[in-house]
Amino acid sequence: MNTLISGKNVHFDDRYLHVELEDGRIISTPMSWYKTLQNSSLVQLKNYRFICRGTGIEWTELDYHLSIESMLLSQMQKIAV
C-alpha cells in the first residue's frame, strides 16, 4: 500500500490552490494561506514542479516549497480552532 500523499496536477483560481492527488482526490486550500503565491503572477504560479517523489511542490522562480501533507494538516488545524 502506498502511504505517500503525492500530487498529480496543480491549478489555481482566484481564491484557491487546488492539488489533484495521484489517487484522484483534490485538495483545495485558500490562496490567502500562501502570501508568496497569492502575490505572484499566473505565469509564475504555473511554473511549478513536483519534488520529493511527488509529495511536495516547488516554485523555483519564487524560491517557494510546499508540502502537500502540510496542506492537509493546515486544513485540520483550521477546523480544530
| Grid cell locating 77 | 488545524
Q: Looking at the domain assignment, is residue 74 inside a domain?
A: yes
Q: Which stretches of the chain drop beneath a pLDDT of 70?
A: 1-3, 74-81
DSSP letter string, 13-52: -SSEEEEEETTS-EEEEEGGG-HHHHTS-HHHHH--EEET
What CATH number does the domain containing 65 carry?
A: 3.30.2020.40
pLDDT at 75: 53
In a domain, 54, yes or no: yes
The answer to whether the CB of 17 falls within 8 A of the CB of 29 is: yes
* pTM above threshold 0.85: no
Domain housing 37: 7-80
pLDDT, tens digit, for every residue of 39-54?
999 999 999 999 999 9
- 46 domain residue, yes or no: yes
**Count of domains forming the chain:** 1
58, 65 in Cβ contact below 8 A? yes
CA–CA separation, 20 and 25 (whole Å): 6
